[in-house]
Structure 1
């Protein structure tokens, strides 16, 4: 759910849906880069692909957002409306350390690698059409 909410921040900035005051920032500006990170990073987290590095990057984005956008108004999140940035930051840090979860693409890839053994299918000397015992 966190990733889905984060994607909505990205679609708002990059695609203009839903339309907000930050919709359609000029390319390569800070808000455009943030929107791309939110859109692409949120989608990657939503499916659980490259979860730990993406979550680390997004936690950093939210820390920067808090200190650059919200904190100059006040240090207190309830005053500067930075609660979402703080929550996103710490949820993403949790994902960095806890991992993506059992329904993620990362988990599927890991289970597939474990099933192939320490060496992949082709690296272990198998050739197509030959059984491992027909030597």
Structure 2
């Protein structure tokens, strides 16, 4: 992997990972700039008609927190990025897009950037680079 691609991948990881981590912390610990306590988030999901809103709220919060942290440090990046991408796709379609395109721009970018990480992986500046076997790097049936 070239240095430019490694730096570019790192920048994508820093952006996606930090945003997701901050939102997960806001939900689970009710602190930070993106605070929405779990009770409020559960009520919000219930208002949308989401089945089992308490369970879904915990899954979303954990994907944001754990997935964001994994993406940030580059550990199990493809799996974490896939979970975050699905999370952001659901948030876009169910919450933000019905409010208009401007309200959904961030979730669309986070979703697409996460799918990009699924495709290209964490890059050389990551924990994955240190611990993942070369033969298992790609989740996709395409050459690297």
Q: Please give the TM-score of this superposition, normalised by the length of structure 1.
A: 0.71
2:85 pairs with 1:71: no
Cα deviation for residue 21 of structure 1 reads: 6.2
1:17 corresponding residue in structure 2: 31
2:57 alignment partner, one of 22, 27, 31: 31
How much has 1:71 moved relative to structure 2?
A: 2.2
Q: How many equivalent residue pairs?
A: 108
* Larger RCO: 1 or 2 (CA < 8 Å, sep 6+): 2
* Higher-helix-fraction structure: 2
The 5-angstrom pairing of residues 1-135 of structure 1 reads 1-2=14-15, 3-18=17-32, 22-25=36-39, 26=42, 28-74=54-100, 77-78=101-102, 81-110=103-132, 113=133
CA distance in 1, matches of 2:93, 2:35: 20
Tell me if the contact between 1:13 and 1:22 (Cα under 8 Å) persists in the aligned partners.
Answer: yes
Q: Secondary structure at the match of 1:28?
A: helix
The residue aligned with 2:6 is: none
Q: Which runs of 5+ in 1 are unaligned?
A: 115-135
Structure 2: gaps of 5 or more residues: 1-13, 43-52, 135-144
Could you tell me how far apart the structure 2 residues matched to 1:4 and 1:21 are?
14
- Whether the aligned pair in 2 keeps the contact of 1:7 and 1:39 (CA below 8 Å) is yes
CA RMSD of aligned residues (A): 2.0
Once the two structures are TM-superposed, the CA of residue 92 in structure 1 deviates from its matched residue by 0.3
Q: Computing the radius of gyration over CA atoms, which structure comes out larger, 1 or 2?
A: 1
1:20/1:9 Cα in 2 relative to 1: closer, same or farther (>3 Å)?
Answer: closer
Q: TM-score, normalised by structure 2?
A: 0.67
Residues 20, 103 of structure 1: alpha-carbon distance in 2 compared, 3 angstrom cutoff: closer
Supply the distance in 2 between the matched residues of 1:84 and 1:19 (Cα, whole angstroms).
16
Structure 1 residues 104 and 15 mapped into 2: Cα distance closer, same or farther (>3 Å)?
same
